[in-house]
């Protein structure tokens, strides 16, 4: 599946409207607080109107140090997943439970330096593992190749813990060349600038789809 990030877009309503005419599966929403990462996204009270431009379900990525306030906001939208980082200043398990309390699927994000072992205690509570292919904070960066080793480790983990039904997603720096290397290791590919900086969104999405 393909989840499209509009982080690099300079006209979000236009980008979301154009994405409605593609077969993208989700819209990936990057939320930044200017503390967990240097950049800051627009406040929710401005952004909530912008989501009216999309019919697609949202895949929300919280790059914030205090997820709990954002969870209730984003739970009020057409949201499939809300994912949080491991090293926030709040309790990770409580926040995963908070996400689930809204009937929304919960995800953990692994930064390039986070080890796969660190998420094992959370496996019973999560539906998604979002693996960063770049240092979080901005779009248009180059994919870090050693992310592929982490995706291979996760594939092994998935076999070991087959009672837990989590999906694996990769986020950051994904283009057609990267997708070809990783498509058999992940369930969802997040891609931003590769799609939104192009004239033909569907063509770019097709070029990432080595899987359904
Ligand atoms: C990085 C974000 C990603 C990113 C994806 O901080 O979490 O979602 O915007 O965009 P590209 O594909 O341009 O790296
Ligand atoms: Zn993201």
pLDDT in tens, 59-102: 999 999 999 999 999 999 999 999 999 999 999 999 999 999 99
Please indicate, yes or no, whether the overall pTM of this predicted structure exceeds 0.85. Answer: yes
Indicate whether 5 pLDDT > 60: yes
Residue 133 CB–ligand 1 contact under 6 Å? no
Q: In the chain, at which residue ranges do the beta strands (DSSP E only) sit?
A: 2-5, 26-32, 57-63, 79-85, 105-110, 128-132, 167-171, 188-191
The helix/strand/coil state of 44 is helix
Residue 140 CB–ligand 1 contact under 6 Å? yes
Indicate whether 8 pLDDT > 60: yes
187 flagged as catalytic: no
Indicate whether 32 pLDDT > 80: yes
**Whether domain 2-208 has CATH 1.25.40.20:** no
Indicate whether 45 pLDDT > 60: yes
Which carries the bigger pLDDT value, residue 74 or residue 212?
A: 74
Ligand minimally distant from the alpha carbon of residue 147? 1
**What span, in angstroms and rounded, lies between the C-alpha atoms of 50 and 41?**
13
**Percent of residues in the chain assigned helix, strand, coil, to nearest 5:** 40, 20, 40
**What span, in angstroms and rounded, lies between the C-alpha atoms of 10 and 29?**
14
What was the pLDDT predicted at 210? Answer: 86
Pick the catalytic residue: 30, 33, 59, 163? Answer: 30
Strands 57-63 and 79-85: parallel
**What span, in angstroms and rounded, lies between the C-alpha atoms of 189 and 28?**
10
Question: CA separation (Å) from 155 to 9, 135, 150?
Answer: 32, 22, 9
Q: How far is the CA of 144 from the centre of ligand 1 (A)?
A: 12
pLDDT in tens, 170-208: 999 999 999 999 999 999 999 999 999 999 999 999 999
What are the boundaries of each domain within the chain?
2-208
Strands 188-191 and 128-132: unpaired
> What is the phi-psi region of residue 208: left when phi exceeds 0, alpha when psi lies from -120 to 50, beta otherwise?
alpha
Chain mean pLDDT for the chain: 97
What was the pLDDT predicted at 211? Answer: 67
| H helix intervals, 9-145 | 12-20, 44-50, 67-75, 92-101
* Protein residue with its CA nearest to atom 12 in ligand 1: 192
Long-range contact set of residues 19-23: C-beta below 8 Å, sequence gap at least 24: 19/54, 19/56, 19/201, 20/53, 20/54, 20/55, 20/56, 21/201, 21/202, 22/201, 22/202, 22/205, 23/202, 23/205
Pick the catalytic residue: 171, 176, 187, 200? Answer: 171
Residue 59 CB–ligand 1 contact under 6 Å? no
Q: How far is the CA of 83 from the centre of ligand 2 (A)?
A: 9
Mutate to test the pocket of ligand 1, among 26, 30, 147 (most ligand atoms within 8 A of CB): 30
73 flagged as catalytic: no
What was the pLDDT predicted at 212? Answer: 57
**Residue of 30, 39, 212, 1 whose CA lies nearest to 132:** 30
Residue 107 CB–ligand 1 contact under 6 Å? no
Indicate whether 58 pLDDT > 80: yes
Q: How far is the CA of 54 from the centre of ligand 2 (A)?
A: 18
Q: Which residues, in sequence order, are CB contacts of 149 under 8 Å at separation 6+?
A: none
Q: How far is the CA of 160 from the centre of ligand 2 (A)?
A: 27
Residue 173 CB–ligand 1 contact under 6 Å? yes
């Amino acid at each position: 599946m393909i989840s499209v990030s509009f982080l690099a877009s300079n006209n979000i309503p236009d980008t979301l409207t154009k994405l409605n005419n593609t077969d993208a599966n989700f819209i990936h929403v990057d939320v930044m607080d200017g503390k967990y990462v240097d950049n800051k996204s627009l406040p929710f009270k401005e952004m909530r109107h912008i989501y009216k431009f999309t019919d697609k379900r949202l895949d929300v990525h919280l790059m914030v140090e205090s997820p709990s306030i954002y969870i209730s906001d984003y739970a009020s939208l057409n949201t499939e997943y809300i994912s949080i980082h491991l090293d926030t200043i709040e309790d990770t398990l409580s926040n995963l439970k908070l996400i689930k309390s809204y009937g929304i699927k919960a995800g953990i994000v692994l930064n390039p330096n986070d080890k796969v072992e660190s998420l094992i205690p959370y496996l019973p509570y999560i539906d998604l593992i979002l693996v960063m292919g770049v240092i979080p904070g901005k779009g248009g960066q180059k994919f870090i190749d050693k992310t592929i080793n982490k995706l291979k480790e996760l594939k092994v983990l998935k076999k070991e813990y087959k009672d837990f039904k989590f999906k694996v997603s990769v986020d950051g720096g994904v283009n057609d060349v990267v997708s070809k290397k990783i498509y058999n290791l992940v369930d969802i590919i997040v891609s931003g600038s590769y799609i939104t900086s192009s004239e033909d969104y569907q063509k770019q999405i097709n070029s990432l789809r080595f899987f359904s």
